[in-house]
A and B are shown apart, each in its own frame.
Chain A
Amino acid sequence: MARKKLKEHLINREWCKGCGICVRFCPKNVLELDNMEKAVAVRPEDCICCRLCEFRCPDLAIEIVVEDENDE
C-alpha cells in the first residue's frame, strides 16, 4: 500500500480551544500551540497522516487532508 501523502492540516482556529492533546500525542511532533493558544502544524513535512490528532481532538477542529491517490 502506498504511503499517504499529506496535503494540509485543516485547523479550525474558531473551534480550537488550545487543550494541547494533539500536540502531546502526535507521534512525530508535528504540532505546536502558537501564541494565541491555537494548534498549528509547524513541521508538516514530518506528518505521517496517522490522523490521531483528528480522531482525538475534543473540539473537532483538525482535519488531515491527503493528496488524491488516483495518480495512475
Chain B
Amino acid sequence: MAIKDYLRERFFPHMWCPGCGHGTVLNSLLRAVEELGLNKSNIVMTSGIGCSARISGYVDFHSLHTLHGRALAFATGVKLSKPELTVIVPMGDGDALAIGGNHFIHAARRNIDITAIVMNNRIYGMTGGQFSPLSGPGKKATTAPYLTIDNEFDVVELAKAAGATFVARSTAYHCQEATNYLKQAILHKGFSVVEILSQCPTHYGRKNREGDAAAMLEIQRDSTARIGSKALDDNPHLIPRGIFVDIEKPEYCEEYNKIIDRAMKRKAS
C-alpha cells in the first residue's frame, strides 16, 4: 500500500500552518504503519485537543477525537475492550503532560499496550501561543512576555520513571529515524512513548526568533545527538536522541484476562 491509502484525502490540504512539524510527524507515522504492513482496519487512533489532535482526522484508521488530555483514557478503554487492535495515541504538550499528565503517568505505570507519541513543539499553538510544561525557562510566549520561569518536563525521564517499557526520542528533522522508532514502538508489547521534537514556526519560532520552519529544523539537527555518539559525549548539553528503554514487563490487558479467567473458574466451581 502507498501512504496515501492511509489518508483521508478529502480533508487535505490539512489545517496545519506552513512548515508545521506535526505534518512531518504524520508523514513519519504513516511510513511506519505502511512499512509494517498493518491493516488500517485494525488500527485505532485517539487524540485529544489542540493542533496535534487534528491528526486523527487525517488518517483513515478508526479514530476518536476526544477531550483535552483524555486521549490516553479513551485509548485505555478501547484497548481493554478490544486488545487485538493496535492503539496509537498522538498527543501535544498539553494533552500529554499538562492537563493529561496524570493519564500519561498512569498509563505508563500500568504498561498497557498503547503507543503514545508526544509531538513536542513546546507551545500551545491552536489557542495562540501560550507556554506549556515543555517550553522550559527563558522562553517567550503570549502568556510570558517577560520570559518563562517554569522548568520543563523531560519526557523521556518522566516516562522512564513512570514505568513505560519502551521510550524513544527523535525529531521532525530526523524523519527516517522517527519512522524507525515508531515502528519499534508499535511492535513493542506494552506502553511505548516516542517523543518527537516538532517545530511551531507560527508561534514558538516567531516569538523566540528561531527563524522559519527550515531554520527550526536546523536547530533540531544541531541541538540533538544520538545516545552513544561521540558528539553527545563531547557536548553533554545536547538533547539525547535514541531508544532509552526497551524492556519486557507484564502487559495490562494480558494480566486483566488472567483475572477474568480466575473469576470465571471460581464462578464455575
List chain A positions with a Cβ less than 8 A from chain B: 14-15, 17-21, 23-25, 52, 55-61
Q: How large is the interface on B (under 10, 10 to 19, 20 to 34, 35 or more residues)?
A: 20 to 34
List chain B positions with a Cβ less than 8 A from chain A: 3-4, 7, 12-14, 16-24, 26-28, 30-31, 172-173, 175-176, 179, 201, 212-214, 217
> In the bound complex, do residue B13 and residue A14 qualify as a contact, i.e. CB atoms below 8 Å apart?
yes
Q: Which 4 A-B pairs have the closest CB atoms?
A: A58-B23, A19-B19, A17-B18, A24-B214
> A23's closest neighbor in chain B, by CB?
B214
Q: How far is the CB of B211 from chain A (nearest CB, A)?
A: 11
User: How far, in whole Å, are A15 and B16 apart by their CA atoms in the complex?
Assistant: 11
Listed by A's residue number, 27 A-B pairs whose Cβ atoms lie within 8 Å are A14-B12, A14-B13, A17-B13, A17-B18, A19-B19, A19-B212, A19-B214, A20-B212, A20-B213, A20-B214, A24-B217, A52-B175, A55-B179, A56-B24, A56-B172, A56-B173, A56-B175, A56-B217, A58-B19, A58-B20, A58-B24, A58-B27, A58-B172, A58-B213, A59-B13, A60-B4, A60-B26
> In the bound complex, do residue A59 and residue B31 qualify as a contact, i.e. CB atoms below 8 Å apart?
no
In the complex where A18-B18, A21-B19 touch, is A55 in contact with B28 (Cβ < 8 A)? yes
In the complex where A14-B13, A15-B12, A15-B13 touch, is A55 in contact with B217 (Cβ < 8 A)? no
> A59's closest neighbor in chain B, by CB?
B23
Chain B contacts for A56, CB-based, 8 A: 24, 27, 172-173, 175, 217
Chain A contacts for B19, CB-based, 8 A: 17, 19-21, 58
User: How far, in whole Å, are A28 and B36 apart by their CA atoms in the complex?
Assistant: 30
Chain A contacts for B217, CB-based, 8 A: 21, 24-25, 56
Q: How many A-B residue pairs have CB under 8 A?
A: 71
Residue from A23, A55, A57, A60 with most neighbouring chain B CB atoms (10 Å): A60
> In the bound complex, do residue A57 and residue B27 qualify as a contact, i.e. CB atoms below 8 Å apart?
yes
> In the bound complex, do residue A60 and residue B213 qualify as a contact, i.e. CB atoms below 8 Å apart?
no
> B23's closest neighbor in chain A, by CB?
A58
User: How far, in whole Å, are A30 and B16 apart by their CA atoms in the complex?
Assistant: 25
Out of B18, B22, B176, B213, name the residue touching A55 (CB < 8 Å). B176
User: How far, in whole Å, are A21 and B172 apart by their CA atoms in the complex?
Assistant: 11
> A58's closest neighbor in chain B, by CB?
B23
> In the bound complex, do residue A57 and residue B18 qualify as a contact, i.e. CB atoms below 8 Å apart?
no
> In the bound complex, do residue A21 and residue B213 qualify as a contact, i.e. CB atoms below 8 Å apart?
yes
In the complex where A55-B176, A56-B175, A58-B24 touch, is A19 in contact with B3 (Cβ < 8 A)? no
User: How far, in whole Å, are A61 and B7 apart by their CA atoms in the complex?
Assistant: 12
Q: How far is the CB of B156 from chain A (nearest CB, A)?
A: 23
> B176's closest neighbor in chain A, by CB?
A55
User: How far, in whole Å, are A10 and B201 apart by their CA atoms in the complex?
Assistant: 26
> In the bound complex, do residue A59 and residue B14 qualify as a contact, i.e. CB atoms below 8 Å apart?
yes
Chain B contacts for A15, CB-based, 8 A: 12-14
> In the bound complex, do residue B214 and residue A58 qualify as a contact, i.e. CB atoms below 8 Å apart?
no
In the complex where A25-B214, A60-B23 touch, is A55 in contact with B31 (Cβ < 8 A)? yes
Known pairs A21-B19, A59-B13; list 7 more (Cβ under 8 Å): A25-B214, A55-B27, A56-B24, A58-B18, A58-B21, A60-B3, A60-B23
User: How far, in whole Å, are A19 and B3 apart by their CA atoms in the complex?
Assistant: 21
Chain A contacts for B12, CB-based, 8 A: 14-15, 60
User: How far, in whole Å, are A14 and B12 apart by their CA atoms in the complex?
Assistant: 8
